[in-house]
Structure 1
Amino acid sequence: MGYRSVTAALAASAFALAFTGAAQATDLEVIHWWTSKGESAAVSQFAKAFDNDGHGDHWVDSAIALGETARSTVMQRVLGGDPPGAAQFNPGRQYEELISGGKLLDLTDIAKENKWEEVIRPKAIQSACLVDGHWWCVPVNLHSNYWAWYSKPAFEKAGLPEPRSLAEFIKDAPKLKESGVIPFAIGGDGNGWQIQLLFQDMVTEALGVKQRDKMFTEKSADIAGGPEMKGVFEQLRTLKQYTDNGYANRNWNDTTNMVITNKAALQVMGDWARGEFAAAGMTGVKDFGCMIGLNEDKPVVSTDGDIIVFFKQDNPDVEAAQKRLAALLLSPKVQVAFNNAKGSMPVRGDVDLGTADPCMQKALKAVEDPAKIVTATNRFITENTNQQINELVSQFFADDSMSPDDATAKFADVIANSD
């Protein structure tokens, strides 16, 4: 065989090997709504780990801004017979029809092999994925809505101490306004979900965990229409006067950036906001402060977060890749890398977080006490009811002509007829 023939044969052999390798590699599309700077840094940890797992797999990133839009896209794809390989959801009732409809891949074998029941904590988070003895999703983090984030320089400029409660902040808001900063930062995009997050935190603070849970589980119009709830709407109206006119269509991370740049004093937002501070190179020691549970004297955390579901596929190679990714998401190294960037807590209770910042340390301490854990609203209500509450609180926040009495009566009606 001549030189040219040998070269041609080697080239053909190399091409065949490359082709074979490409055929065995699996492209796995993952739909999610992690689109902010901090969130992108976090999800890239998943993608990097999957792409470098030694199997030639590739994470195909399908990022869709806003959870409501992303979930709607996923459901349309599933109904159209073209499901993605995996998708982000929140724990709760959002994906129960996917389980009952037989659309999700059963992950029980992977869960048993990797002892998920032993390492995932608290146990309450397991119930989001462990249904009737089968694992239908992977919890990847513990998120809490119950946080306020504030600019330390803004409070220093106004000559005020750092806040310890929302009520204390409202009392000091006039001085913050006089100092030239926007006291309260909020955004109204996505049908008002940021306003509802604030509202739900205020509801828990006003009612207490037990009464709040009773209101949702028993569909109690008496609690929903009571004096405590009227007080929440009154307080919400007060907060409105301390925000800015540009809030209406602003997204959450741009709102967080107002606090990062000291243009605004305080934002109520889930702990994913901490990822934005981290992405900006800031620490919770000197650059910004955090208030847990809207009242440092009564700290609470919600322990739902993000989960990943995997959809049934006809290709066994794809299914194998899905299960590899499912196991990888809960590996200790990946859990630490993702959650440090995301601002959330790992679902594994056996990873070392000794270097966590002061804000995460507050959460880690609170999550160990069952009395301080709040069940996420999504566990009680459907997406339809959630949207009704979104629309009500968003309308109330925007329309000063709607009285707190009227808003309370409408809220009581939504709760009484919730599904």
Structure 2
Amino acid sequence: MHDIKAIRENPAAFDAALTRRGDAAMSSSLLALDEERRAKIAAAEAAQAAQKAAAKDVGAAKAKGDETEFERLRALVGEKKSEVAAMQNEAKELDAKLNDALARIANLPAADVPDGADEDDNVEINRWGTPREMDFTPVEHFEIGGVAASMNFDTAAKISGARFVMLKGAVARIHRALAQFMIDTHVDENGLTEVNTPVLVRDEAMFGTDKLPKFAEDSYQTTNGWWLISTSEIPLTYSVANDILEESALPIRMTAHSLCFRSEAGSAGKDTSGMLRQHQFEKVEMVSITHPDNSEDEQKRMLRCAEDILEKLGIPYRTVVLCTGDMGFGARRTFDIEAWIPGQNTYREISSVSTTGDFQARRMNARFRPADGGKPEYVHTLNGSGLAVGRCLIAVLENGQQADGSVLLPEVLAPYLGGKTTLNTEGVLI
């Protein structure tokens, strides 16, 4: 959510930042609406003052016994009261219109975000590991001999339709092991607090985390008005809505493993094979609530937490900073981590780590009280995948695949798999 005062003070800077995203300049229309709103508020206040003055005169006329003047003034007070109510309603309507317009405008990119139109203009900043040379042609995850029987898309389609999968046996266990490994690492090594969140949230939570009104069609809503979360970023971040935190409580660092749901509106025909893009998936999320002065360092810290998961799993990856044209709606800066996927001979996104600045905090009125006792300030919020569990499963299976259809699994998963480190050609852990 943008601050109209900041736009009022520097409209040129606001427009310049928006145009970097490829959006149209909007300060003139916003300021015109703001001016109309403020004028209506001032008029309502003036009319209310006149009403109060007339009300005093009514009392004076009554005391003097001047019935004619008393009736005239009483009628005038009634007229002023109706006039004030009408003006106040108009001011409220204009205020709602302005807030709705502000809520639909994307966050402004940080100064160091590279300019660009789309993913082709993203900038690689880090690369780890070397893709393994295979003496056979690698296949995609669902084609691996030891995997295929335990990754059932047909049965899932019979039950739910396209973009669903049923995992069973050893593959389901590996998927579960990955989530547990991620959560344990974030809690035991990275100092995050594990949270088990609801997956159904109210409109306020969706709005506060910038998913409404912009992304309503990308989400699922129940018949009684709840929304299924697209990520546990939503309940984790909104947990501090309308709070005034003590500065000493910051940073708040949380992690959650949850089901996630996305309609994938607009993605028809994209990534239709395998489990790369599903309507229902699981993700381990990281959320930080920080002091504004520390949010830059916190984003780097969160990025390392996510990268470290892949390094422990031995999955080659690259990290890119997204350009202005490829960033998400609420982000000031986003780092994407892309894991090496041998079956597609390319890197694919497995995590996004974003800082939103105070963009979400303004929408949900999340503040902190400075230690020196100053006026409450908005916190900064950050979120990142740590990681997408299904996509991590894909990376583990494809990078560990062998020529005979078996899969060598990362050693770090052995404690979660009863000490077993291989998925054999029959789909059994050994």
> Highest Rg: 1 or 2?
2
- Identify, as 1 or 2, the structure richer in helix: 1
Shorter-chain TM range is: under 0.3
Query: Normalising by the residue count of structure 1, what TM-score does the alignment of the two structures yield?
Result: 0.22
Query: Normalising by the residue count of structure 2, what TM-score does the alignment of the two structures yield?
Result: 0.22
**Greater RCO (Cα-Cα under 8 Å, separation 6 or more):** 1
